[in-house]
């Protein structure tokens, strides 16, 4: 009888396996399969194992850090030539989505979250992008209003709903421009930015 050096399981002719994340030696009971490869097309699958999901996560992050990305074919997800098992694919997709967020590829991340049924995370990722855009526009608008002040200029924005003229002066605060003062319609920050840019840019 041979004992597994990792979990202590005893078995006659115990076959050892190695975790592909940390290189720990174990057996088929304590090292779980996360992927298969097929060295010979149409031949037998070669299993690939890790000692824990935490170890798999580190391995997936390392692969993504080396430039590998997940690809789908025939209903399976692949890391290069490795055909991932369903739970491994779900974890790898989540990790890839997180890396996309770091790279500010918010829509790509949201779509990955949707592909594994993480609808809440997909929505939060899209809202994060929207907040970043609005924040940047708010900063740009503040800067342009400061330029209006310096140049002694006034810009006029026409409400697309009621067509009322909305003056934008050196004293205007961006927060007061969220809605039309006449009809209450929501004003898009990007539209305001364009109106002020036209005036400042003409000088």
Classified as helix, coil or strand, 22 is coil
Q: Would you state the pLDDT for residue 201?
A: 65
Nearby residues of 128 by Cβ (< 8 Å), 6 or more positions away: 101, 106
Give the mean pLDDT per block of 10 residues along the chain (203 residues). Answer: 86 90 92 92 90 94 87 89 93 91 84 88 77 52 74 80 84 78 80 74 60
Q: Would you state the pLDDT for residue 58?
A: 93
Nearby residues of 58 by Cβ (< 8 Å), 6 or more positions away: 21, 22
């Amino acid at each position: 009888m041979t004992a597994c050096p990792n979990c202590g399981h005893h078995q006659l002719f115990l076959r050892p396996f190695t975790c592909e994340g940390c290189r720990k030696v174990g057996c088929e009971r304590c090292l779980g399969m996360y992927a298969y490869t097929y060295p010979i097309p149409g031949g037998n699958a070669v299993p690939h194992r890790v000692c824990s999901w935490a170890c798999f996560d580190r391995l997936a992050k390392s692969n993504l850090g080396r430039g590998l990305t997940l690809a789908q074919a025939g209903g399976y997800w692949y890391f290069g030539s490795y055909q991932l098992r369903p739970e491994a694919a779900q974890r790898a997709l989540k990790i890839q989505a997180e890396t996309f967020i770091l790279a500010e590829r918010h829509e790509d991340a949201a779509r990955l979250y949707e592909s594994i049924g993480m609808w809440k995370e997909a929505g939060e990722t899209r809202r994060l992008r929207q907040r970043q855009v609005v924040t940047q526009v708010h900063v740009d608008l503040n800067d342009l209003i400061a330029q209006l002040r310096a140049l002694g200029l006034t810009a006029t924005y026409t409400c697309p709903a009621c067509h009322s003229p909305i003056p934008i002066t050196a004293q205007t605060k961006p927060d007061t421009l969220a809605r039309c003062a006449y009809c209450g319609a929501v004003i898009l920050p990007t539209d305001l930015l364009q109106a002020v840019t036209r005036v400042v840019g003409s000088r």
